[in-house]
């Protein structure tokens, strides 16, 4: 077991090189890790934290009632979440018969009940562990597709040139630097399909996170999209008037109705109370996930806006490149980028992240000289 944990831990260790960017890492490393950890917490709580559901009802064995309510789900009455006194009007938030309570004005203190179908079903808790694991897999898919499309190109170009010791061997240094320059010149202006595949996967990251928000909203009956905001609002409301979204979405005590045949063959209805202890964990996990997913959606959308601007504006590409490569003279950068297509710029940006700055400085100078020489030769022809 220790070996499995160690293997999982190595996934989150800092790597020396990446074929993508920080936004990608937020999706397939951070979000993936959060979802897997959440799924593992729920699995461990189900295995070692006691029964996930415990129900109490007269006339039905406890084990049978637990199994029945676990399979068929439980329910709460949302109208009994606010404006009631716990222990007097209702035993627990949202726990009441399948009806709304109305006080009779002519008979003070008298409570009558009228049916109006007011009910929230809770039949999702069996699937939380699996849904979280499924979401983690979805977060990894865009990175996996990009890894297939990238095909090891960046690793082939870097060739250990992020190692500072490579400068000690001048022949090896010159050979590898020249190999990078020759490859860029040989494939010059042919990398646009490479970057468009990357942009497609970036868009897929945003589509995936929006789909997951929709999936969770569907999973929780349309109550997830406002869940975090409602929790913040509830904390500012007086307790007696508070409609706590945690009680609405993740109730700790619910009701479950069991029907059986009585002695005379008539159908008897048995109402039981069920305790869902795991919702104490669920409510915290999904509050965090709400804020994380909203923040990640905004981050990814802003990143894509910058990507669109960089595609449209050569000057923006120039500024981004200068910000990453501060050791290279800006006139030299401008001389190289004026001749580059967007795909060439992207390749150079990726190399700048991984190659030793001193080496990359010389790569840019070599490209400047060879591109200028090639342009001069074309003008003479």
Measured distance CA(368)–CA(164) in Å, rounded: 24
Predicted confidence band at 168 (pLDDT cuts at 50, 70, 90)? low
- The residue-averaged pLDDT of 92-97 equals 74
- pLDDT at position 163: 63
**269 phi and psi, to 5 degrees?**
-110, 125
Measured distance CA(370)–CA(252) in Å, rounded: 71
Q: What are 159-165's contacts with CB under 8 Å, separation 24+?
A: 161/354, 161/355, 161/356, 161/359, 162/16, 162/17, 162/354, 162/355, 162/356, 163/356, 164/356
Structural contact between residues 278 and 45, judged by C-beta atoms closer than 8 angstroms: yes
Structural contact between residues 244 and 81, judged by C-beta atoms closer than 8 angstroms: yes
- The residue-averaged pLDDT of 84-105 equals 62
Predicted confidence band at 371 (pLDDT cuts at 50, 70, 90)? confident
Counting Cβ atoms within 10 Å, is residue 75 exposed (0-12), middle (13-18) or buried (19+)? buried
Higher per-residue confidence, 297 vs 174: 297
Structural contact between residues 219 and 371, judged by C-beta atoms closer than 8 angstroms: no
Structural contact between residues 28 and 202, judged by C-beta atoms closer than 8 angstroms: no
Average pLDDT, rounded, for the chain: 81
Report which secondary-structure segment, H or E, holds 256.
strand 253-261
Q: Encoding tokens for residue 355? A: 């190659």
Contacts of 332 (CB under 8 A, 6+ apart): 364, 365, 368
- pLDDT at position 111: 33
Specify if 242 maps to a domain: no
Predicted confidence band at 91 (pLDDT cuts at 50, 70, 90)? confident
Structural contact between residues 172 and 332, judged by C-beta atoms closer than 8 angstroms: no
> pLDDT exceeding 90 applies to what percent of the chain?
31
Specify if 350 maps to a domain: yes
- pLDDT at position 303: 96
Specify if 300 maps to a domain: yes
Specify if 5 maps to a domain: no
Specify if 366 maps to a domain: yes
Specify if 251 maps to a domain: no
Domain count, the chain: 1
Q: Tokens 């077991």 appear where?
A: 1
Q: Is the pLDDT of residue 55 over 60?
A: yes
Specify if 246 maps to a domain: no
Q: Encoding tokens for residue 310? A: 């960089």
Specify if 237 maps to a domain: no
Structural contact between residues 146 and 201, judged by C-beta atoms closer than 8 angstroms: yes
Q: How many CB atoms lie within 10 A of CB 36?
A: 19
Measured distance CA(27)–CA(205) in Å, rounded: 7
Contacts of 195 (CB under 8 A, 6+ apart): 342, 343, 346
Residue 331 belongs to what domain range? 15-57+123-221+276-376
């Amino acid at each position: 077991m220790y070996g499995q944990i160690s293997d999982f831990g190595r996934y989150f260790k800092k790597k020396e090189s990446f074929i993508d960017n920080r936004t990608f890492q937020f999706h397939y490393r951070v979000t993936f890790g959060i979802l897997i950890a959440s799924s593992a917490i729920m699995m461990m709580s189900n295995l070692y934290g006691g029964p996930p559901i415990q129900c109490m009802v007269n006339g039905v064995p406890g084990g049978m009632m637990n199994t029945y309510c676990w399979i068929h789900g439980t329910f709460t009455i949302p109208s009994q979440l606010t404006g009631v006194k716990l222990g007097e009007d209702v035993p627990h938030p949202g726990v009441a018969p399948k009806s709304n309570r109305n006080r009779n004005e002519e008979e003070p203190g008298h409570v009558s009940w009228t049916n109006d179908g007011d009910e929230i079903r809770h039949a999702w808790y069996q699937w939380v562990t699996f849904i979280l694991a499924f979401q983690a897999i979805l977060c990894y898919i865009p990175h996996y597709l990009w890894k297939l499309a990238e095909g090891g190109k960046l690793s082939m170009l870097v060739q250990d040139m992020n190692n500072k010791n490579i400068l000690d061997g001048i022949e090896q240094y010159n050979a590898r630097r020249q190999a990078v320059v020759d490859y860029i010149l040989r494939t010059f202006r042919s990398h646009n399909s490479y970057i468009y595949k990357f942009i497609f996967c970036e868009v897929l990251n945003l589509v995936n996170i929006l789909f997951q928000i929709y999936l969770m909203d569907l999973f929780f009956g349309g109550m997830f999209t406002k869940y975090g905001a409602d929790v913040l609002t509830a904390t500012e409301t007086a307790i007696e008037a508070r409609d706590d979204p945690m009680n609405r979405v993740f109730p700790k005590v619910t009701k479950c109705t069991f029907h059986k045949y009585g002695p005379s063959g008539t159908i008897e209805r048995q109402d039981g109370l069920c305790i869902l202890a795991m919702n104490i964990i669920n409510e915290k996990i999904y509050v965090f996930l709400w804020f994380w997913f909203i923040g990640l959606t905004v981050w990814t959308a802003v990143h894509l806006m910058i990507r669109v601007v960089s595609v449209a504006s050569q000057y923006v590409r120039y500024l981004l490149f200068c910000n990453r490569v501060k050791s290279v003279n800006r006139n030299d950068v401008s001389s190289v980028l004026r001749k580059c297509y967007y795909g060439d710029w992207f390749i150079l940006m990726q190399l700048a992240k991984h190659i030793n700055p001193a080496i990359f400085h010389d790569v840019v100078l070599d490209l400047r000289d060879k591109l200028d020489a090639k342009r001069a030769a074309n003008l003479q022809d």
